[in-house]
A and B are shown apart, each in its own frame.
Chain A
Amino acid sequence: MPCLFEPLEARLAVLDALPPALWLGGMTHAGGRLEPRLLALQTWRGLLAQGLNPLDRLAPGPLSDADWPAPVLREALKTCFDHLQLARYCEAHADLADLVLQSLLFHLDLIVDYRDRGAGEAAAARIAIEAFHADWAERCGEIDELAAAFGELGDLFKNTRWDTLRGLLRSREWQDLVRIRRLVERLPELARLIRSLGRAQPVEPAPTDSQHRQSVMMPALALQADAHTQRVPDMPGETRGVHRSDRLARMLPAEAMLLGHPRLRFVWHARRAERTLLCYEDDDRLRERHHHPLPVPRPQPRPAPAPRLAMGPMLVCVDTSGSMQGGAEAVAKAVVLEAVRTAHAQHRPCRVFAFGGEGEVVEMLLALDPSGVAQLARFLGQGFHGGTDICGPIEHALARLQEEDWRLADLLIASDGEFGATPAVAARLQQVRREQGLRVQGVLIGDRETIGLLELSDAIFWVREWRRFGPAAEAGRYGEGGEGGEGGGSPVHSSRLTADYFPGALRTPDNLARTQPPETAAAAVRAGRHRDAAS
């Protein structure tokens, strides 16, 4: 930071603390002066994020001399903030405070325009605050709705595309999403399963289970080279310079001259005694290199007793084949929705592969932002048609697993199990499972376990009562429109059909009335009366 202009620039230092979203509105706003306004914005942000209504503190607090917002607006704004409980929303959702302030700046900026169009001062202020109130009354509703569906809001408000969200919330797809959300609530085991997905088992997996390699600092002995010079007296070598000593052999000729003088020779003797004769200094230093072992930590790759990441990313394969239509489809969608919700609640990335027939793999990275939610809603709103080709999505998922970010992902396959993987793909899956410790969780939405799903999954969660979740489950008997129509699943497996063939097997009140309790029945058999009762 240059010192030139520093005092002047420092007066605007608050700009750096404000998010860029507030710059435009904060700097060009019609009311007040720049610096107090920016300071006020920063204070408001802080208070809103703490869940406090900034206007509660306005009178005595740090803002008392702020000229934004204008004092005439404060009372009405305070009521408005209190009424909407905006501070509470901002506390719960961190990004919201900026949005509220941005919107407030926008609406209050319009006061001059209302006045230009003929409104009085008070009326213009009222209009602006009412507009702000109405805007946020609606948004708060939307926030509630989104929060109800997703549990948390993630990045939904990061880029303030309210129109997209608003359109989404009014779409048919959103209604589907809400319906499926309710469905999830009826499947608590499924939600629990997905939440626990990827978590470490209470015991550490055996080393063979995971070949996750990592560098471990191991003590090792390294030879440390240590160079130093050693004096070796009388070592032949070069002359290094002049120094003071008492070595006569290396004495300077000038010193020898002293000896010839009657008086100076005493000086010579004195110097010799004090070892201060000027002598040539031999370069009798030997440069040595020592090697001595020194324990050093050294990184060594070794299979670590893999602490499986408690929450890795999630890969979800969803069967969107035609055979899933009806209740199974609803359950599969619930799996996707719950996976996305869980992933975001636990801050895990989540990728969904929808697989139908051969080559029909749709891959979605579902982030909790407007586009991700729109994509999710679109997916949840569409019907399932097509064949069942498990190999495509598994290959896609395996390809993802090779990427660094997704190495520790877990795979979830939701299907009715009516498929089979080619031996090659199954073998590759086995290999990844062995080498990377991949876990595959199957969600079986059907009536019987199939080899196809069994050989791919480590564990299978079986949703047996999938029929109850079909859109037409309430419609009762299958096929008002005939077989394969809107009925709740395949006709062969409908309960009604069972009734047709085994009328006594259903627990209708009528049947129950006719059924004897076991003791009675046993007694009757012993008495030999069963023939009579049956007849």
Chain B
Amino acid sequence: MASEAVVPAHDWPARLSPILVALEAGLVERRLPLRLALLAALSGEHTLLIGPPGTAKSVLARRVHLAFRDARYFERLLTRFTVPEELFGPLSIRALEEDRYERHTAGFLPDATVAFIDEVFKANSAILNALLTLLNEREFDNGAGRQHCPLVSVIGATNAVPEDEVAEAFFDRFLVRLSVGPVSAGGFERLMLDAASVPFGEAGVAMPAALSAAERAALSQAALQVALPDEVLSHLGALRTWQAERGNYVSDRRWVKLGHLLRTAAACEGRDSVSAWDLALAPYCVAADASEQGEIAAWLAARLGVRAVWSPPRLTRIVEAFEAQLSAERAANDLDYDEAGRLRFSAIGQAQEQAEALAGAIGDAKGGAGALRMSYSRQRRYGPLHIGARTRQIDELLERIARYQRELAAQRAALADWRAGSLWAPPRFAEQAQTVLEGVAAALGALQVRASEARAGFESLPRLAEGAGSAPEPVAHEPFVD
């Protein structure tokens, strides 16, 4: 036992992947709930499945149980008339004869490793307190003593979340809350063909070696070593503030448990620190229902910059400024001076405006505004210093864009690493993140092209003639020969 715990280098991804694959066999569109439920179990947390009847909720729970070696499984449907005996075992008559008031818990919930409790919100007052204690502290008051329970994870199921005090009491006990719905139209065919061939609740393929208790202990040890970087902490802090602003209270206990869940997720994937992308799991832990989880996921995506394709606004502004300046300098008219001989302050397009205003004032009955007028203009010419100053600024801009691109490349690499190694990544989130980052890369590329084009544009501005403006050389002439 001790020797196993000391073994340092568990290759957790290699250990877990085959188990996950085997557990998923035959299930259609249940990848995310199954994996999250297993992750919660590995992290020592309970999962709540919310969904209509017939959506494989109990199958999920049985599959999770299969992942653990020597795990006792307990399953019960709660009704309003469920009595304590059904959950915690019958009263021991022999113990009574010895004046002890105890229950036979063997084979019942206090003795289970993984439990599935259907219709969990139906719990009545006769069993509620004992059940809540069991879930929270993993202990059961049996007679004079407190019995420690080997419980790893309870998977609760309900059709809908009622609004009463029982719901509130239970709700906070389940860290992960998952909505499971019927399979989509696309998955229906597979459902009809595959799912029927899988024996009820049991994996159709041979299970690889399940996780032993020692391995679970080693994993939670490993999870404790995983770092929570500042970046992730700042995201979580912002999420907490945002939730508080929206009036959604999330208990401190839940944040702590979320942190542990993230660490466990990272440990399972063989990483030594939590990645910002792991936060994709957070919505399932801090929000109650699917719509709120969607909002949080959207908020998170926006914060990570992967909600929609965007281009950094301030950087874009600089590129636009240079383009505007270029078009202004191309259109600049050398003869547009005011009466004092100075360049006009807002010269562009002004003559045009004046002409149109004049035509409008006179009454454009004869289409005077459209008629060609003689105009005095000469495209302005620029010298090397002017163009050099502009291209120097654009070179700085290009350097700036390159910095953005380097940051983006780092992010994309991190995302790709995370996706490749992740066992738990919600596929839709990961895919969206990748698509958006590709889009952002394209946007940055476009900015770079625009800046380069502006640079080329400045270089191709009409040039001053060589030596223009300087005093002409004195004409060399032959001295008069008298």
Contacts and interface: CB of A to CB of B under 8 A. Distances in A.
Interface in B47-98: 80-85, 91, 93, 96-97
A4 B386 contact: no
B235 A3 contact: yes
B389 A30 contact: yes
Interface stretch (A109-117, A300-308, A431-439): A109-117
Given A3-B303, A116-B383, A116-B464, A15 B317 contact: yes
Interface string B365-404: 0000000000000000011111011100100110010011
A134 B341 CA distance: 11
Interface stretch (A159-167, A218-226, A338-346): A159-167
B364 interface: no
B125 A243 contact: yes
A13 B386 CA distance: 28
B217 interface: no
Contacts of B124: 241-243, 281
Interface in B92-136: 93, 96-97, 101, 124-126
A285 interface: no
27 contacts: A3-B303, A4-B440, A8-B400, A8-B403, A8-B404, A8-B407, A9-B312, A12-B318, A24-B321, A27-B318, A28-B324, A30-B393, A116-B386, A117-B464, A117-B469, A118-B468, A118-B469, A119-B469, A134-B342, A160-B346, A163-B344, A241-B80, A242-B125, A254-B85, A263-B96, A264-B93, A267-B101
Interface in B145-183: none
A34 interface: yes
A160 B345 CA distance: 9
B302 interface: yes
A208 B298 CA distance: 58
A30 B383 contact: no
A106 interface: yes
Contacts, number: 155
What size tier do the contact residues of chain A reach?
35 or more
Contact of B315 (A12, A131, A138, A261): A12
Nearest to B326: A28
A103 interface: yes
A4 B313 contact: no
Interface in A1-51: 2-5, 8-9, 12-13, 15-16, 23-24, 27-31, 33-34
Contacts of B125: 241-244, 281
A3 B304 contact: yes
Contact of B96 (A9, A110, A115, A267): A267
Given A118-B468, A243-B125, A161 B389 contact: no
A335 to B, nearest CB: 28
Given A3-B235, A23-B321, A117-B464, A15 B469 contact: no
Given A4-B407, A242-B82, A23 B315 contact: no
Interface string A204-245: 000000000000000000000000000000000001111110
Contact of A112 (B80, B81, B338, B385): B385
Contact of B322 (A9, A15, A28, A115): A28
B394 to A, nearest CB: 9
Nearest to B467: A118
Contacts of A185: none
Contacts of A29: 393
B396 A112 contact: no
A252 interface: yes
A163 B342 CA distance: 13
A22 B268 CA distance: 53
Nearest to A115: B385
B172 to A, nearest CB: 22
A135 interface: yes
A30 B345 contact: no
A116 B469 contact: yes
B352 interface: no
A55 interface: no
B13 interface: no
B457 interface: no
B325 interface: yes
A113 B390 contact: no
Contact of A27 (B81, B310, B317, B467): B317
Given A103-B345, A113-B383, 4 more contacts: A2-B307, A3-B305, A5-B315, A281-B124
